[in-house]
Amino acid sequence: MKSINPATNKIIKEYREHSAEEVVDIINHSHEEWLQWRTTPFSHRSELMLKVAALLRNRKSELATLMTLEMGKIIRESEAEVEKCAWVCEFYAENAEQFLTDEEIVSDASRSFVAFHPLGLVLAVMPWNFPLWQVFRFAAPALMAGNGGLLKHASNVPGCALAIEEIFRDAGFPAHLFRALMIPSAMVEAVIDHPYVTAVTLTGSEFAGSEVASAAGRQIKKSLLELGGSDPFIVLDDADLDLAVPAAVSARLINQGQSCIAAKRFIVQESVLEEFTNRIHKTFAALKVGDPMDPETQIGPMARPDLVDDVDRQVKESIRLGAILIAGGARYDRGGCYYQPTILTNVKPGMPAYSEETFGPLLAIIPASTEAEAVSIANDSVFGLGGCVWTKDVTRGEQIARQVESGAVFVNGMTKSDPRLPFGGIKKSGYGRELGSYGIREFVNVKTIWIA
């Protein structure tokens, strides 16, 4: 496996892959340690998870630099990601026992209740765009619930995978309870097939999700999928543009636009369309593009050359079909995987900028004449992960939020994940929920106990 800096396209380091025999050996060792771990009290698990949070903060500079070098995230976003990982560890350290306390239920028994018991080893197939956060939002609840974890990380962030494994080990977790498998995607099915692997969670593309879900289904094993998104950013005629415009820029360009919950379709009522577009254009023109290690940089490189190729195709094809280019629309001539922050207007059905997930710095503006049309456009998507609504009337905003077909809708705020709130999608954005009390109950045996 090669770690390549997308800002320079130079190799950082090469890593040796695990052989099939080594993978089986790791799984067997992990299972042996899980048999003991599942019986440990919550107090012990909590103590270790709080140590993980402390180690994350102590190593923030080192970990942030590693993320930025491996996938191009600007350094201040990398530092914020490390802090968020520490937060999710603390959240489950403090709340897991309460979330998994026996639930008493009145029935014809003298006593009946629901108990929540760990399943075993959970395989996590994780993406590159948030190399630490995607892993910790799975690992913190899974381990606190008494499970073990196996990580198959994206092949372009191998250093991050091993750094996470090291943190759990250094915090005092059993050495094999959480392991990074240095394997290609072709070996994932064999891991799922292993009898000691009881469930799988994946964050990634529709194709990867369908492949992993199919493999898990053949073995009748639990799966959770968090896939793509084409989140609507609805700007109503009474929106406060002083708030909506800065949020729109952040919601689209976070992580260079490489986020499942980044706003992608900006559905704007016609009475505020011109002013919204002009303000967005002005803000885009002032963005500083450069070295992601520079704290002043606002736009860094995309993670890989093929991702640049894909967003460039989406832009050019949408323009060919009638979209109007307002800003950007081309690669930067500076080496590395840089693409200009791009604005398209007059975006309509059938264009890639309307119908596909755009995973890059492409902001697509879609006009809507009425509130009802705005909702209809928002729901005209195969995805349903997140979305937001901007209006000065919060009652109106809530009514629209209830109509938008997605796993989360934010009123007067950009879509984000929060350890306290369930996170996940519908339609082709996947199924199941991470985070909150719902997330920790995804990988447990919900066991009914009835006593006469």
What does the DSSP assignment read for 219-242?
A: TT-EEEEE----EEEEE-TT--HH
- The string of pLDDT tens digits covering residues 170-196 is 999 999 999 999 999 999 999 999 999
Name beta bridge partners: 202: 125, 225
Q: From CA 400, how far away is CA 234, in angstroms rounded?
A: 10
Q: From CA 251, how far away is CA 261, in angstroms rounded?
A: 8
Q: Are residues 307 and 363 in the same domain?
A: yes
Q: Are residues 118 and 174 in the same domain?
A: yes
Residue 331: name the closest of 368, 301, 352 by CA.
301
Q: Are residues 174 and 307 in the same domain?
A: no
For the question of residue 260 being annotated catalytic, the response is: yes
Tell me, what's the pLDDT at 333?
Answer: 87
Q: CB within 8 A of 146, min separation 6: which ones?
A: 37, 38, 40, 45, 117, 118, 444
| Rg, C-alpha atoms of the chain | 22
Does the pLDDT value for residue 208 go beyond 90? yes
Q: Are residues 349 and 401 in the same domain?
A: yes
Asked if the structure places residue 188 within a domain, the reply is yes
- Here the CATH number for the domain that contains residue 70 is 3.40.605.10
Given the residues 89, 160, 260, 337, select the one marked as catalytic: 260
Q: Are residues 166 and 48 in the same domain?
A: yes
Mean pLDDT of 138-161: 98
Q: Are residues 330 and 445 in the same domain?
A: no
Q: Are residues 353 and 385 in the same domain?
A: yes
Given the residues 226, 357, 434, 442, select the one marked as catalytic: 226
- Here the CATH number for the domain that contains residue 304 is 3.40.309.10
Does the pLDDT value for residue 105 go beyond 90? yes
Task: Give the residue numbers spanning the domain of 365.
Answer: 231-418
Confidence band of 334 (pLDDT split at 50, 70, 90): confident
Q: Are residues 28 and 84 in the same domain?
A: yes
Q: Are residues 328 and 216 in the same domain?
A: no
Secondary-structure percent of the chain, ordered helix, strand, coil, rounded to 5: 45, 20, 35
Asked if the structure places residue 57 within a domain, the reply is yes
Mean pLDDT of 203-220: 97
Residue 438 CB burial class (10 angstroms; 0-12, 13-18, ≥19) = middle
Q: From CA 223, how far away is CA 207, in angstroms rounded?
A: 15
Q: Are residues 220 and 301 in the same domain?
A: no
Asked if the structure places residue 326 within a domain, the reply is yes
| pTM attached to this predicted model | 0.97
Confidence band of 66 (pLDDT split at 50, 70, 90): very high
Asked if the structure places residue 181 within a domain, the reply is yes
Asked if the structure places residue 424 within a domain, the reply is no
Helix (H, G, I), strand (E, B) or coil at 389: strand
Asked if the structure places residue 250 within a domain, the reply is yes
Asked if the structure places residue 423 within a domain, the reply is no
Mean pLDDT of 52-56: 98
Does the pLDDT value for residue 305 go beyond 90? yes
CB contact at 8 A, 144 and 88: no
For the question of residue 388 being annotated catalytic, the response is: no
- The string of pLDDT tens digits covering residues 364-394 is 999 999 999 999 999 999 999 999 999 999 9
Q: What is the tally of structural domains in the chain?
A: 2
Q: Are residues 291 and 243 in the same domain?
A: yes
Q: Are residues 14 and 50 in the same domain?
A: yes
Helix (H, G, I), strand (E, B) or coil at 220: coil
